[in-house]
Structure 1
């Protein structure tokens, strides 16, 4: 109860148990996203086993590779020690940063920016969901029978709660109540609103009617896209990001999904994976101070203090692209292996009779509604 965890400012700490609980929420929500891709057709026993394996062998390593490093205090302390040993101040600062980064996670070393989980949560879960729904197969009647949401009212309630909770994820990822947390909160506001409008208007133009389900889907796409950029982009950049994400995710959830024919029940791939990719790559662009961004964090110029370093478009964007590609391969291939292991042990899919009866009754012996 007395141990502390570092933040992004020198000498500022939070209780370690708070940090542990905060990270636990990310670890919980990520496999929950995957489930939406193959809803209504996977065995509950298989789901439990897969979740344990996936969190252990896919999620935790990804979180470590993206977010683990010694922190600004480690840089400051190392630089101070080198300076006391007679090293030049600037040389000591850079040497200290290099030493701390040498122990950091792989994607962090690459310079990939992910403020609140674009790679760790959304691309990671989105590609795992796509692999899962393709391996498990389509729902009975998919493409032939209408499979509409059972309650749009509850969908809207859920999306509203999600948006409110997302402020905690994005602003909370700064670990401190300061200007960067405020920026992350504002970006979470405006990018989400822009994406909801982007989806609404493109759907209106294409289908002739704007739908509440579409607007809600757009809002989630905006939340996803702004997640990696929340503390790095500026508000105007986030608005543009949201508009782009809303339109592109709409295309993936309609045209691309229909063309490829996969049965992603809740559009986990089309919204979370695609939205995460858009946001992750855009972070490398929108972090530029010339576009209103916060700039690349520079801990070498002022050891232990957050400073803005020089921005270079090529290295910044390439670091993001490399992180995206690595996440797709690592999670996609790793998840496929885990699905196969689970299939051998307990089997992935329920029987056709159980699927037709409904998993509430067949798997759990209860009904959601008693009419």
Structure 2
């Protein structure tokens, strides 16, 4: 299960301390203008080593494209690309060869495959999400043609939450993509880091310009696809759409979106009704757990079943939700590009008009 999507499909490969990570995109229509500088700029937003609020692992993360593009336009054939790993420190993980790190995927992967790739997280590492960000950047080029935009920002870090409306201008220039309370959020991250610990976060994602009618009922619902995509990001433990969990405390008269002559009068549904987009902004919230890689003594088991105490070494994010917000944007773009092409497959004239 290394492929994501139906009509617009991303397949990824590679491990955190291997030679490279990369991907293949199938389904990009021919004739889409490909701006590789824009793609690179999206990858750069996720890149580590740029501030004290992220991992100090600094990779160039330069994308190299092998196929699917000619003279600046997509050819309709698979777009293959790679991002080379240039700053591995596998020796940091040598002491973990035979043990399972608390809160990580090590135990589950070993039970499934009976192979212990102890070089960081291996295939389960968040390093792989750089490929998803690249895939999401290519999806953005398609979505731009239809006037669809996606953006994300950090709503909360630990106990620090924003007050008032999200400040998207702040998020655009913030080191941590904060939608408010930036200094308090930074302090929360640094307090955790200085204590050799980590902290969780929540991320708001908004998709605007999404036409009504996207989604494939009953078992290809747009809301289900988005929730699945966001839950598939490393460290995400919960996803809300629209009012989310608050809807369980409301009455129908409070939660229903009434309509007037100019359309919907509210957007409690978060832009999706019956699994199909309503034409209103799609509103999503993702909740990230604290980074499991912390520098405190912890208890675990080794491969023989013996109890062991261990301390981690390495370079890790004190708050994965910060860079995770960039990945959330990418995953929503991938879903929307896929749903757009699924919808257009029954309305071919819309694509013919575009290209």
Query: Larger RCO: Structure 1 or Structure 2 (Cα < 8 Å, ≥ 6 residues apart)?
Result: 1
Fold match by TM threshold 0.5: no
Normalised TM-score (structure 1): 0.28
More helix by share: 1
